[in-house]
């Protein structure tokens, strides 16, 4: 499932074609994805101008001139691609429609944005922009890890007394929004913290050290266009490249890359998810 860097990469790729442009026409090819589409979604979107295109956690939010916000979740296999962009950043010709092209947006600048989702775990919803932060998918989210509300004191406070492993705690979207399995594994490696450690037993200095590490890992991943493991594509159809920089994720039995460490990357299962780490240098 795309994590924060992949969703941010898609948002940035869509912005030149969607932000400040009007949605001329919307084609909805099925009644639902993970959940039913909003009532009259095509009619409510057609004619609306996208006043802002932003991200909250793993969701893309398109604020509209109608006072509504379109919430988009890519799910496990969803991707949004652009064709016909007048700025020449994408393929000029619109491709032939594919089987799993479920929603198609034609923009006033000539761009076409297509939401394709073979597994149909993605979702779209329309809510009042004024109330979007109270949406059930957004209401309980923690701070954005790249925002000012994510800081050392706050993370120390949120982890204090927690008996869950630090890996599970960082995956809790109420503690910090947008982190997923890949980037938590990578951040814990860089911080030298074992995913087995109980969150509440970590010294404050070690918790504080996680904040800049998490920021750096995410920023590097965004600069690389995210990570493409199976289905992820950028808005221009290209793969992400951060998977080539993984220190631990997916590297079971490979040698540790930390200078001077002779350890081997191990994989364990925590809460049904694979955790990759070096038992020798992550304590």
Q: Which residues are part of the catalytic machinery?
A: 2-3, 58, 273
Q: Which residues contact 217 (CB under 8 A, 6 or more apart)?
A: 183, 186, 187, 190
Within a 10 A sphere around the Cβ of 167, how many other Cβ atoms? 24
Cα–Cα distance for residue pair 282/240, rounded to 1 Å: 27
DSSP category for residue 94 = P
Quickly tell me which residue has 């604020």 as its tokens: 63
Other C-beta atoms closer than 10 Å to the C-beta of 283 total 11
> How far apart, in whole angstroms, are the C-alpha atoms of residue 166 and residue 159?
8
Residue 152 class from Cβ within 10 Å (0-12 exposed, 13-18 middle, 19+ buried)? Answer: middle
Task: Give the Cα separation of 54 and 74 in Å (integer).
Answer: 14
Distance CA 110, CA 67 (A): 24
Strands (E), the chain: 23-28, 50-56, 59-64, 68-73, 79-83, 101-107, 112-116, 123-128, 266-270, 273-277
CB atoms under 10 Å from CB of 65, counted, come to: 13
How many H-runs (helices) and E-runs (strands) does the chain carry?
6, 10
Q: What does the alpha-carbon distance between residue 124 and residue 122 come to, in Å, rounded to a whole number?
A: 7
């Amino acid at each position: 499932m795309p994590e924060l860097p992949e969703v941010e990469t898609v948002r940035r790729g869509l912005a030149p074609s969607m932000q400040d442009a009007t949605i001329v026409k919307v084609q909805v090819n099925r009644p639902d994805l993970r959940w039913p589409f909003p009532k009259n979604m095509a009619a409510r979107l057609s004619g609306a101008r996208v006043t802002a295109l932003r991200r909250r956690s793993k969701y893309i939010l398109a604020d509209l001139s109608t006072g509504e916000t379109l919430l988009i979740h890519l799910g496990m296999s969803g991707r949004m691609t652009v064709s016909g962009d007048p700025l020449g950043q994408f393929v000029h010709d619109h491709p032939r429609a594919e089987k799993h092209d479920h929603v198609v947006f034609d923009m006033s600048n000539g761009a076409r944005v297509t939401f394709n989702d073979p597994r149909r775990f993605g979702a779209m919803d329309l809510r009042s922009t004024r109330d979007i932060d109270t949406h059930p998918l957004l209401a309980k989210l923690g701070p954005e890890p790249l925002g000012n509300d994510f800081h050392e004191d706050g993370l120390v406070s949120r982890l204090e007394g927690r008996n869950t492993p630090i890996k599970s705690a960082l995956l809790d979207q109420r503690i910090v929004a947008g982190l997923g399995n890949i980037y938590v594994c990578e951040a814990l490696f860089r911080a030298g913290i074992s995913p087995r450690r109980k969150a509440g037993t970590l010294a404050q200095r070690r918790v504080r050290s996680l904040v800049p590490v998490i920021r750096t890992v995410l920023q590097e991943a965004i600069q690389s266009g995210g990570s493409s493991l199976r289905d992820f594509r950028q808005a221009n159809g290209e793969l992400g490249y951060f998977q080539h920089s993984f220190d631990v994720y997916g590297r079971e039995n490979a040698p540790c890359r930390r200078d001077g460490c002779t350890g081997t990357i191990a994989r364990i299962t925590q809460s049904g998810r694979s955790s990759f780490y070096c038992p020798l240098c992550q304590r």
